[in-house]
Structure 1
């Protein structure tokens, strides 16, 4: 519950004014509903009594009927506005939460980021964020509106009808209603969490089976995979049935509570009538108001029944939130070398405009060193302008250092979309970058910058995808450019043109590249050989 409370505070603070407007309209809807039924009950009873007394022609029916129409129309308008504003505020809050999570992931190290490549982690995060929309819509706003409405109705009923009627209605609803909801919460936390967990397993299992169906068929294990998915589906259905039974049982007890409160209010009104404290028309107001207040209680069932799902999601999301970057915005030391590395052979310093090749056998740590320089792995052996990469705010570090990893990420969209991830650039700048990486001619033959790419850059060869990602790095024009096997998969002529083009495009940048072959290229003025 602690995690759920922290997430609730974060969501409410995302747009407090929008939340407040939605909450105000939610209370308005409930209060107007109670006033509508109370006035209608009084009006019906009063007109009936006037007719029986033979004075119906003298009874003023216009003002009460006008009040009924006003409350009915006003309640409908308030309900529409409440739905509109609360959903809008919730969507804004969830958007803010996603931004917070992305900022947190941006400061994660390479190992943590690599875990996000799997569909399991991504679907888990997406599902958790979606589950949290109920925190505001089905818990915070309905619960707050219900409590405030009961307080207001208690005060008005006490003044108009009598405090005994107000105490009976508020006391029974708040005490027994809370007991029913608490019982529902205890009974549904486990099945709600189980249903969500099994649903996640089922979705991942189906995705895996479809993706690997050829291998499963060849291995003759497709049937066992299907049986396992049926078992997971059965477990998810059983948890959903338990959840449904608990919710329906709470609905039964709430129906009894509503009937009991209405009857108690009616009897208390009759007692006041018998004592001569109120007239017959006022005596029935409590009955109708008690029925109207059921609208404040019933919506809470769904929110409480999903408490297990929301609590689990909140706990997992809360564990990601501390990753948010709170680093002070520092810009390095003026007189310090651009890059300093503490290597086994001693400390090495590198200045702007140098081109350095990293060599060594596979697994010796070349890629890891680049990731340390880029701030993607913790280290105390690297200094960028006299400061450790961890000492920089993320935005500042990304302005100094950019990196082309071995696995480059492209998005579904156009070539322009992929290159625009680095910022806003003119078409001339973009074409210059593509010309530098020897990719312009291939794209001109297609649709140029509007060439459509599929998920992960589908539509380009492996070498073309890497060169497009390299062009994206060139557009940033950072002070340090780190390249992890930039010529992998390229023929010698293209590799030579790319290396020469990158050096010419960024004459003032420090370029450091890991090279399995080609480290003796004339562009590289320094070579660092790492050993196991």
Structure 2
């Protein structure tokens, strides 16, 4: 099983690098040439050294020693220059590959639907974009640095050893084969452990993200020790897996060095007798010992590369899974641009179920919202209110029925056209690091300051923004602002865009009733010609809507005005009378 995993991982890594290194074919060719020259120079030095000993030192020929010594200096200079050039080319190529992969993964993530994002998971996407790409970049760096030179050095060392002395070189060749087989057997065990390590990293990212965002709840319920124990268990699993990898890797250098030391002793003993009887020269022995050292270095370099290869193969497969993912809300092949209607949203028999769910979240939803209408969606938790808005935004595609915007199925609309028509304000308002102005201009960069202030006035946010100014800094997620302030800024941001259809997903939940009432009244005046779909659990928020749709267990349980539903719809009446002054008709 491990052999199959390793072979599959190796094929994935090879195909992955072959595809993504195509833009770097020029640097790759230059790198191979530099390493060929560098390795040839390295292999030439022991032979020149052997000649100095046999033809210069033993014969007392000073001129030969000087001439050959100067040649060795020139070869060493070439070796240094080509080695430095190879490292520089390798570093730039691997850094460029890492940059390209991160950009491609980021671009792909931005194009995926909510279904694919849910399937892979946010923590895993972060790990794949940062850690997995880094693993691939590292293996390209180490491989391009040493792989070519290690192979040539090992093969060339054996060939030149044969030139020096065939019987001794055959012993060397046999031992090299034994060591390489041992290395392959040891490295086959690593791939499953590397895959487990990456999965543990995903889990740690998930735990960290969840605990950091929920730290107030953890402290409020005094669950610090419990959460620490959960984190420690995953952290310990990662540590144990990494330790097993370390133990396997620790045996490799010991095996290589021990084998080569035994070989060196054997060669010295065997060659000593042959030098005594005149069948071998002293320079040949010195050269053979140098080639043994070079071969040991080459094998250790190869070990470093191949030890990283299984982990990089796992990372490449994980990155490739993201890059090959197909969005379930892909752009239409033949897009249609709506022209006949404005502000018209319709769901015809819309049905939707999340993958793996026992039953659909929404079933046979028929709903029409027209320009100038405020349609409120009311229902208990889990009734499908937010999912309905997600279908209108095409974050998910319906599993049955249709969703139409301005008479066109959203699956036939380009995403840019859909999101120009439809604006969305989520319950959990998200602000980006920057300034208040940069966040308000997020959907329309050419908006003037006057337009920003007008949107802030409508959203009841001007009062707290004015003392700060439009250039006041905002932190990631707007953590320095209250929940109500973030919601009002998110509403203002959508107002700046001026879409035809507004999807307001319980975005008044953090506002006090008075502020919420003022904001809703201002929106109805400002957006008299627009279409508003308002999701809320508050009767006071929805009671003035043109029409209220009651959702229950994924179906429409009633539709009408507040006055109509309070007298005819049991679900609406129960919700109304469970809230303060909820049953009063205004």
Q: Does 1:243 align with 2:245?
A: yes
* Deviation per residue, 1:482-522 (Å, 9 max, x gap): 1123433435664455445546666764332235434454x
- Given the alignment of the two structures, is residue 51 of structure 1 paired with residue 70 of structure 2, yes or no? no
Name the CA shift for 1:365/1:34 in 2 (closer, same or farther; >3 Å).
closer
Contact 2:431 2:476 in 1 (8 A): yes
Deviation at 1:85, TM superposition (A): 1.3
Instruction: Return the alpha-carbon distance in structure 2 between the equivalents of residues 416 and 169 of structure 1.
Output: 75
Q: Secondary structure at the match of 2:508?
A: coil
Contact persistence 1:405–1:484 (CA under 8 A): yes
Give the match's secondary structure for 1:298.
helix
TM alignment of 1:32-51, pairs within 5 A = 32-48=37-53, 49-51=55-57
Deviation by residue 1:268-291 (Cα, 9 ceiling, x = unmatched): 999x999x9999868966654553
Return the alpha-carbon distance in structure 2 between the equivalents of residues 238 and 445 of structure 1.
54
The structural deviation recorded for 1:465 is 0.6
Q: Classify 1:407/1:218 alpha carbon distance in 2 versus 1 (closer, same or farther; 3 Å).
A: closer
Cα deviation, 1:281-327, whole Å, max 9, x if unaligned, reads 68966654553354443244345445665555455555544444453
What are the residue-to-residue correspondences of 1:223-234 with 2, within 5 Å?
Answer: 234=236
- Structure-to-structure mapping, 1:328-407, within 5 angstroms: 328=332, 330-332=334-336, 334=338, 337=341, 338-342=344-348, 349-351=368-370, 353-363=371-381, 364-379=383-398, 380-407=401-428
1 CA distance for matches of 2:297 and 2:139?
13
SS at match of 1:53: coil
Q: Which residue of 1 aligns with 2:109?
A: 102
SS at match of 1:91: helix
Alpha-carbon offset, residue 53 of structure 1: 1.6
Residue 463 of structure 2: aligned partner: 441
Among residues 494, 503, 511, which one is paired with 1:482 in the alignment?
Answer: 503
Larger relative contact order, structure 1 or 2 (CA cutoff 8 Å, min sep 6): 1
Q: Is the 8 A contact 1:100 1:321 kept in 2?
A: no
Cα 1:224–1:41 shift into 2, 3 Å: same
Structure 1 residue 65: deviation in Å?
3.5
Partner of 1:189: 191
Residue of structure 1 in register with 2:257 after alignment? 255
TM-score by length of 1: 0.76
Aligned to 1:135: 136
Larger mean Cα displacement after TM superposition, 157-166 or 145-154: 157-166
Across the two proteins, how many residue pairs are aligned to each other? 519
**TM-aligned CA distance change 1:216 to 1:253, over 3 Å:** same
Please report how far the alpha carbon of residue 191 of structure 1 lies from its aligned counterpart in structure 2 after TM superposition: 4.0
SS of equivalent to 1:410: coil
Q: Do the aligned partners of 2:501 and 2:531 also contact (CA within 8 Å) in 1?
A: yes
Change (3 A) 1:507 1:228: closer
Aligned equivalent of 2:84: 77
Q: Decide which moves more: 455-464 or 260-269.
A: 260-269
Greater displacement, 303-312 / 470-479: 303-312
- Post-superposition shift, 1:409? 1.9
Q: How many Å separate the matches in 2 of 1:141 and 1:19? A: 17
Structure 1 residue 16 corresponds to structure 2 residue 25: no
**In 2, are the aligned partners of 1:11 and 1:90 still within 8 Å (CA)?**
no
Query: 1:493-512 to 2 correspondence within 5 Å?
Result: 494-495=515-516, 497-499=518-520, 501-502=522-523, 509-512=530-533
What is the alpha-carbon distance in structure 2 between the residues aligned to residue 420 and residue 173 of structure 1?
69
The DSSP-based 3-state class of the residue aligned with 2:348 is strand
- Deviation of 1:64 after TM superposition, in Å, equals 0.7
The alignment yields a C-alpha RMSD, in angstroms, of 4.8
What is the CA–CA distance in structure 2 between the aligned matches of 1:290 and 1:510, rounded to whole Å?
A: 80
| Superposed CA offset, 1:6-62 (max 9, x none) | 46645664453347626743x456545533433322332222331332322255246
CA contact (8 A) 1:434 1:471 kept: yes
Residue 125 of structure 2 corresponds to 125
Aligned to 1:91: 98
| Partner secondary structure for residue 54 of structure 1 | coil
Instruction: Find the aligned partners of 2:443 and 2:495 in 1 and give their Cα distance.
Output: 9
SS at match of 1:411: coil
Partner of 1:449: helix, strand, or coil? coil
In 2: Cα distance, 1:97 partner to 1:151 partner: 34
* SS of 1:514 mapped into structure 2: strand
1:361 & 1:503 partners in 2: Cα distance?
A: 22
Unaligned runs of 5+ in 2: 350-362, 558-586
Q: Tell me how far apart the structure 1 counterparts of residues 185 and 176 of structure 2 sit (CA, whole Å).
A: 14
